[in-house]
Structure 1
Amino acid sequence: MTAGPEARDLLLAELGGSLFASLPRSDQRRRGEAYLRGLLAARGRKSIRNIAALSGGPAAEQSLHHFVSSSTWDWEPVRRALAAYTARIAPPQAWVVRPMVIPKAGDNSVGVERRFCPVRGQVINAQQAVGVWAASDDFAVPVNWRLFLSESWLEDPLRRRQASIPDSVRAETLGECTVEAYVGMMRDWGLPVRPVVMDAREADALSALHRLRAAGVPVLARVGGSLRLAPAEPTLPGRGGEALPAHQIMGAARDLRRPVLWRDHDGRRSVHTSLTAAVRVGLPGRRPAPGEPVRRRDMLLLGLGDAAGRWPAELWLTDLLNVPPAALVRLSRLMGRVRRDFDEVADEVGIRDFAGRSFGGWHRHTTLASAAHAVRVLTRPGAAGADEEAECLGQAS
């Protein structure tokens, strides 16, 4: 993987051949390639009009609009090809599951409604989706998306018909949407099993964690301090089985804090020392679903902070019981890698720019924008392997 226009053209040609192999007609494949190149080259908002201006004007605009908004090609095989390509070229250290909020001015786009946005700290008019990212120290590429749809959309026949929402789409909680975004792609895509890193503070964390554990998925989840857990360490309060807030458990483990080294992923590669403490806990019990295996393994509650700040600054829950704290810290920092690549690349290639109202159109545009994101990050200057950093962190652990 090298930088520059020539490298980008080579990657486009190679990736395009894989992405569009499932499209049955040659004209569809040509339009897919034109749309992908437009996402990379068009200035400003990545509207269909701006993309079409690079490849033929009004006639191209009409054909590209049909190709994305109302064509019949299936986006799932394209995403599967993108995920397989990314896993081969830039093997992920983890799959990071991250929400995406898409502000909207009107109320016609599929899934749009008034919702609270934690980043802005206010209620806005927006769509909400969940993305799964193949993440490593140097790269983060979105490979799957799931659009969150509330009952107000799915139980309204007129809205469903106008947005062409398939009959198979059913209402789910945000936690269920988060889990299915990952589990759905891992069922038959043939992707490597890696830990799932996610922020479970906003979703229904317990339900999501129970479902992931039932599926045998290794998980590292950031959790809120109020999440109640059952301490399994004999030296901690609540050992008798009483569930306590996570921040209280970690506060009692203050004397277990140890320094750990980790590196930034922002190009400066500066090394930091943080304090960590880890204690074994159990999730509050629930009745397993019929046929679901009973899993009673403990989990690890990991606290992160520094000597000068409050303790703990972050709380993470994981079933990776035998992984050194330094490696867990490194995995948790992949959330930052995804956030930076989203801000610097995904938005630049128009991941949130689809202005149509249809369910299929949203998914097709987001799929192609994900491919454009992959091209951009895999050919940007300064992208290097992580062997040196892995060695450093391995020594620190």
Structure 2
Amino acid sequence: MIDETRSWGIDVPLAVADAGYGVPPLSASAWRNGICPYAVGVSGRHTAHPADARPVQPAYAGTGRPPKVQYPEPAQTMKDLVVAVGKAAARPVSWREGSRPGKGRSGFKRMYSRFVALRVRPAGRGIRKVADDPELPERWLPTEWPANESEPVQFWLSSLPSGMPLATLVRLAKLRWRIEHDYREMKQALGLAHFEGRTWSGWHHRVTLVSAAHAFCILQRLARDPKEPVPV
């Protein structure tokens, strides 16, 4: 679908996905390497190397096949990499309006938590098969670590540029919730799921009307908070 959209001359600025697309098998790794940029949820059990890790060529013993270039230290779980940095490295970030009443301009409290963002090199057999270079690609690992938790609670991988601010990383990673919310709103509040026609033209007409109504809702939301990211 992304390739077809690009064939129409429409740029895809960001692909956001849940942890189902962040798992380490080859299919998911190929999916992540095939689009750019992206922000996908991952499990803290998946492994990675620190960003400054470099592969080396082991010495050849003179018999058998020459050893392949490899990283000298074993990969660590993403959770362990974040824990090693420490909870003190987490910084508070606010990313969107919540549903509870507040004293802000919009009348609602903003969502906030504490986050750590590391540069890592995701590891795993599937990723090594997809990568053309013995040096694994460098990626962001934004991680949510609330002040009242003893360990990190949520992890993402992102191919956004290395100079991306933490607040922007968090807002884009958390955008998955907004997409799910908008999809539910389109189905229930705007009537997308209520359509019972059988013709293509009727379905196309319904989708067009619902999309126009959804666009109106987005414009209203932006009028309340121009800084809030909107799904594309």
Asked if residue 335 in structure 1 is aligned to residue 147 in structure 2, the reply is no
2:91 equivalent in structure 1: 259
Cα deviation code 1:125-150 (max 9, x no counterpart): xxxxxxxxxxxxxxxxxxxxxxxxxx
1:286 equivalent in structure 2: 128
1:182 equivalent in structure 2: 2
Secondary structure, in 3 states, of the residue corresponding to 2:157?
strand
Asked if residue 309 in structure 1 is aligned to residue 127 in structure 2, the reply is no
Structure 1 residue 222, shift from structure 2 partner: 1.0
1:174 equivalent in structure 2: none
Which of 91, 99, 109 does residue 270 from structure 1 map onto?
Answer: 109
Q: How does 1:105-120 map to 2 (within 5 A)?
A: none
CA pair 385-348 structure 1, distance change in 2 beyond 3 A: closer
Percent identity (aligned): 20
1:208 equivalent in structure 2: 28
Cα deviation code 1:349-392 (max 9, x no counterpart): 44445679xxxx698777555433322222348333487426xx
Name the structure where helix makes up a greater proportion of residues.
1
CA pair 389-252 structure 1, distance change in 2 beyond 3 A: same
Secondary structure, in 3 states, of the residue corresponding to 2:180?
helix
Structure 1 residue 185, shift from structure 2 partner: 2.3
Structure 1 residue 221, shift from structure 2 partner: 0.8
Structure 1 residue 228, shift from structure 2 partner: 2.2
Structure 1 residue 219, shift from structure 2 partner: 1.0
Which of 208, 213, 216 does residue 379 from structure 1 map onto?
Answer: 216
Q: Indicate conservation of the 8 Å contact 2:21/2:41, yes or no.
A: no
CA pair 336-363 structure 1, distance change in 2 beyond 3 A: farther
CA distance in structure 1 between the aligned counterparts of 2:177 and 2:43, rounded to whole angstroms: 18
CA distance in structure 2 between the aligned counterparts of 1:241 and 1:183, rounded to whole angstroms: 37
Structure 1 residue 322, shift from structure 2 partner: 1.8
CA distance in structure 2 between the aligned counterparts of 1:367 and 1:241, rounded to whole angstroms: 55
Q: How does 1:83-102 map to 2 (within 5 A)?
A: none
1:323 equivalent in structure 2: 164
Structure 1 residue 225, shift from structure 2 partner: 1.9
Structure 1 residue 305, shift from structure 2 partner: 2.6
2:81 equivalent in structure 1: 249
Q: How does 1:358-369 map to 2 (within 5 A)?
A: 368-369=205-206
Cα deviation code 1:151-198 (max 9, x no counterpart): xxxxxxxxxxxxxxxxxxxxxxxxxxxxxx333322x12112312111
Asked if residue 297 in structure 1 is aligned to residue 117 in structure 2, the reply is no
Q: How does 1:23-102 map to 2 (within 5 A)?
A: none
Q: Indicate conservation of the 8 Å contact 1:305/1:311, yes or no.
A: yes
Cα deviation code 1:29-79 (max 9, x no counterpart): xxxxxxxxxxxxxxxxxxxxxxxxxxxxxxxxxxxxxxxxxxxxxxxxxxx
Q: Indicate conservation of the 8 Å contact 2:41/2:155, yes or no.
A: yes
The total of aligned residue pairs comes to: 196
Q: How does 1:157-236 map to 2 (within 5 A)?
A: 181-186=1-6, 188-199=7-18, 201-203=19-21, 205-206=23-24, 207-213=27-33, 215-233=34-52
Q: Indicate conservation of the 8 Å contact 1:299/1:319, yes or no.
A: yes
**Root-mean-square deviation over aligned CA pairs:** 3.4
1:281 corresponds to which letter in structure 2?
V
* TM-score, scaled to structure 2: 0.67
Structure 1 residue 310, shift from structure 2 partner: 4.5
2:143 corresponds to which letter in structure 1?
G
CA pair 250-371 structure 1, distance change in 2 beyond 3 A: farther
CA pair 208-365 structure 1, distance change in 2 beyond 3 A: farther
CA distance in structure 2 between the aligned counterparts of 1:231 and 1:305, rounded to whole angstroms: 19
CA distance in structure 2 between the aligned counterparts of 1:371 and 1:243, rounded to whole angstroms: 48
* TM-score, scaled to structure 1: 0.42
Secondary structure, in 3 states, of the residue corresponding to 1:384?
helix
